[in-house]
Amino acid sequence: MKRLIPHHIYALQPYQSARRIGLTGRVYLNANESPWNNIIKYQHTNLNRYPEFQSSVLLNKYAQYSNISIDNILITRGADEGIELLVRAFCMPKNDKIMFFPPTYDMYAVIANMYNIKKKIIPILSSFQLDLINIKKHINDVKLIYICNPNNPTGNFFLKSDIISILDIIPLKTLLIIDEAYIDFSVKNSFVSKIHKYANLVILRTLSKAFGLSALRCGFVLSNSNIINVLKKVSAPYPIATPVSDLAIQSLQLENIKYVQENILQVVFNKDFLVKKLQSFSCVDYVFPSKTNFVLVRFFKSDIIFQHLLLHGIVVRDQSYKTGLNNCLRISIGTMKECQDIIQALCMLEGKKL
């Protein structure tokens, strides 16, 4: 096999998704999923026919939801496929370069390695904001810039003025891609209204988080029509299965959007509860502010906490190996009962009463 496959694939470290890591428990707070099942159901029997390349009904539904034209939307298999399509369409192996800002979503690096694309890595500052000085120094020879906003795993928004300043200085041959996977938890901070102003702005969206449809694998690329048309050239012939588009269409009905918004409010309530409780423990060093459905927590000995929670059936995500995140664990916001389970487990560790 070492002789058969290209060296960059042989050396590739695949993305370690929550399911791929394989940890098991009774409470899963490691993948930033919604703790509630969606209320939509699939009943069609037309599975003998190929689907539309891009579901016209789904395009119209998401256009209404995101307040943008259908010409500015491409439906993808989750936001992950959007990340990959952009590299596939615009980057030459061994020649072009992408830029991203760790600690952030690992798939930017994984896909760059998959396609043998060079990487310019500029860590964020200790304030969890962008290092504009170093970004501007190295921006001219970069083809794609990925910004996860709000950022995973830190949970914060980057300053809007910093992102605008990058958009204002990059050449048209450079695309700025804002990954808004968690934007539904704070829609007012979206950059979607800037798409018509900046021809090289691309936005990634998903139904996996706030909409509670992680298993569906449905995402969207939002950009100007020229970029969308280029991405269509390198997309699969039938990228979105009929059951996926049908369920996605149902999820974007007004009734379900109201249901999603109620769940978002509940996530915020549960998060506030969890953060307040976490701050009372002596094992907790710091709980980072979050605009998402997860919180990043720095413990004094995260390895002990991780194993203790796992022993009690609670699975969280270890982030301590990432740049600047020593002793940090990421905890997805679950139901109130699941948040209480974490608090109870930590109480047992410290000998406190719930």
> What's the pLDDT at 14?
84
Residue 273 tokens read as 């509860």
At residue 298, what are phi and psi to the nearest 5 degrees? -100, 120
Q: Calculate what percentage of the chain has a pLDDT beyond 70.
A: 99
pLDDT at 313 over 70: yes
**Interval 289-299 mean pLDDT:** 98
> What's the pLDDT at 20?
79
**Interval 19-35 mean pLDDT:** 86
Share the mean pLDDT of the chain. Answer: 94
Q: Model's pTM, two decimal places?
A: 0.94
> What's the pLDDT at 285?
98
> What's the pLDDT at 340?
97
> What's the pLDDT at 257?
95
> What's the pLDDT at 43?
72
**Interval 231-259 mean pLDDT:** 95
Residue 180 tokens read as 């808004």
Which residues are CB-contacts of 161 (< 8 A; sequence separation ≥ 6)? none
Interhelix angle 78-90/107-114, rounded to 10 degrees, is 40
> What's the pLDDT at 353?
65
pLDDT at 156 over 80: yes
> Whose CA is closest to 148, among 113, 105, 119?
105
Angle (CA) 49 52 56, round 5°: 135
List pLDDT tens digits, range 94-153: 999 999 999 999 999 999 999 999 999 999 999 999 999 999 999 989 999 999 999 999
List pLDDT tens digits, range 16-26: 887 778 778 89
> What's the pLDDT at 354?
60
- Does residue 103 have a cis peptide bond before it, meaning omega lies within 30 degrees of 0? yes
Which residues are CB-contacts of 295 (< 8 A; sequence separation ≥ 6)? 155, 271, 274, 275, 278, 287, 288, 330, 331, 333
List pLDDT tens digits, range 137-146: 999 899 999 9
- In whole angstroms, what separates CA 351 from the centre of its chain? 36
pLDDT at 41 over 80: no
**Interval 196-219 mean pLDDT:** 96
- Domains recognised in the chain with CATH numbers: 7-33+256-350 (3.90.1150.10), 56-253 (3.40.640.10)
**Interval 50-64 mean pLDDT:** 97
Give 215's Cβ-side CA count (13 Å radius). Answer: 8
> Whose CA is closest to 291, among 212, 202, 201, 188?
188
pLDDT at 247 over 90: yes
The identity of residue 312, as a single letter, is H
> What's the pLDDT at 210?
96
Query: What are the C-alpha distances in Å from 330 to residues 45, 264, 281, 310, 319?
Result: 41, 19, 16, 14, 7
116: left (phi over 0), alpha (psi -120 to 50) or beta: left
